[in-house]
Chain A
């Protein structure tokens, strides 16, 4: 039986599903892959949500392009980073068809442009210091640009799941390993994560609670001891931050690492689809475990 906090959020999500089967970032807005992914994740396994999930599933499938990548919504015609979310959802459902393989191939072919040999050579010739290991690249928000933490976390989660299901082969496994190296390399001095690099113009950047929560979620299960400092920081951040987005991410991360975190209050502060879905997924009875490599509903 769902807790009151989860139930109120699931009810909110059901009430605000768009006619096309997806969810917008806010009620009544265009459907996007990202909030639809989180809504589906939060509702997965709840029998009363099954019809809504099936409608969402049909919409998400329609967004895959001939390249294998997925559009982020109906209005945008280019494939995007959010393909990783669709791959994760396919793995959670145990749908391992050719659509998954094509999406994984697209993901493996995409990488932040800062790792391109010509770019690294150019920077080296100009005497510029990267401040990070440019040979370990993640994924960009938009093809042809640099890798950033958040799309890299989602790429890592997706490819770890793909690998756990024996799909994607060596390229997917290597790409996931590279993404993990990138995340570990870009830790800030306090052990947390900024949204991109750890420094700019030679000056250390601050870590943020939401990106620290995200990074720890992507790294869940990593045996690397450097992650422990981030967990300590995440606990402190959860006590300090009032941002619902940050709190939700930190809560999911801490739970995935086996730590306790308070459940969200019964009342939702704002009509925000992403926050509702993240809070429901991160509730004690939520589906946060489905983000782990080997977890699925099958």
Chain B
């Protein structure tokens, strides 16, 4: 039988048929000039996070007025007491901030990678309590309607949740975590949750077979109208993204260039972004190097925390 999995190939584009979330149809180059990244202190979840996010949005020039926005947190496990999921407090604050900035419509969507009860996950993680009318605003991307979008690897297409395709801006809201395959999981890796489990399963194994780094890059090449808000107030170190330990970093990192955001997060985590395989290859689509990033708020080195790494990732350490 012909293999229908997503096969590896050099990352060449194909015209992308769908509008909405920036599936833009031509090979994407990195943004011209410098990329703005805001690194803002947020010592705890009890602070005024709406104000912090509004400040970050201002520094980064985020414009959502009249647009439909999809907030995409990282929802992984049934456990509100750990650092696995993006904090519901951060999601609620982002929702309020985006609302104040005049977005026409705000949805929250996630397609968890291995647990099937997405609404149950959201409930246990505290999302129902934190976000007003959460159930009306939330879309389980694993059970949503799907559409085919061209432009992913050899076979040229991949299915995505229709809610994703219909949004004008995707706000990727990961937790700042180490990852036992990719090294780190941040704004770019968080896009794995856009791929519907209803088609590809739990986990979304074709992404692994295509290569995790390649898939991260492909997804971020396809979805360009993004903004990142990284929850680094309490992140995860060690054997992430599930079995690691909490690590307080006391920071929110924000920006429109997800490569620049992930690179900045790495610097906060004492990791050299150039040594992280997917970021090493990401310079085609974003600015990774410090001289191409305009840092606002705090300098990353001032907030640097030493995130523990699994032994096989010690080579990623910032020198």
Contact = CB atoms under 8 A, between A and B. Distances in A.
Bind each other:
yes
Interface of A: 24-26, 29-30, 32, 34, 67, 72-73, 75-76, 78, 80-81, 109-110, 113, 140-146, 148, 150-151, 195-196, 200-201, 203, 208, 210, 242-246, 270, 272, 274
A32 B144 CA distance: 10
A195 B119 CA distance: 18
Nearest to A30: B145
A243 B120 contact: yes
Contacts of A25: 140, 142-144, 198
A144 B209 CA distance: 9
Nearest to B113: A195
Contacts of A141: 200-202, 205
Looking at chain B's contact residues, the main secondary structure is: loop
Contact of B117 (A34, A81, A143, A246): A246
Contact of A142 (B4, B117, B144): B4
B117 A201 contact: no
B296 interface: no
B199 interface: yes
B119 A72 contact: no
11 contacts: A140-B201, A142-B199, A142-B205, A143-B5, A146-B205, A148-B203, A203-B243, A242-B120, A242-B123, A270-B135, A274-B143
Given A25-B143, A144-B4, A195-B114, A246 B205 contact: no
A157 B123 CA distance: 31
A29 B146 CA distance: 10
Nearest to B117: A245
A78 B180 CA distance: 31
A76 B208 contact: no
A214 B78 CA distance: 18
B119 A109 contact: no
Contact of B120 (A29, A146, A201, A246): A246
The contact size tier of chain B is 35 or more
A210 B146 contact: no
Interface centre among B117, B140, B202 (most CB of A within 10 A): B117
Contact of A243 (B117, B144, B145, B147): B117
Nearest to B7: A144
Contact of A29 (B119, B143, B203): B143
Nearest to A272: B119
Contacts of A67: 1
Interface in B188-209: 198-203, 205-206, 208-209
B201 A76 contact: no
B281 interface: no
A75 B159 contact: yes
Contacts of B144: 25, 29
B209 A145 contact: yes
A195 B147 CA distance: 27
B61 to A, nearest CB: 36
Contacts of B124: 242-243
B30 interface: no
Given A143-B5, A246-B120, A148 B180 contact: no
Contact of A73 (B119, B135, B198): B198
B147 A75 contact: yes
Contact of B145 (A75, A143, A270): A75
B4 A143 contact: yes
Given A142-B199, A144-B206, 18 more contacts: A29-B145, A30-B145, A72-B198, A75-B159, A76-B146, A140-B201, A142-B206, A144-B4, A144-B209, A145-B201, A195-B202, A201-B310, A210-B115, A210-B116, A245-B116, A245-B117, A245-B120, A272-B119
Interface string B234-269: 000001000100000000000000000000000000
B196 to A, nearest CB: 9
**Lowest 3 A-B CB distances belong to which pairs?**
A141-B201, A25-B143, A144-B5
B41 interface: no
Contact of B206 (A145, A151, A200, A244): A145
Given A26-B143, A67-B1, A75-B147, A244 B120 contact: yes
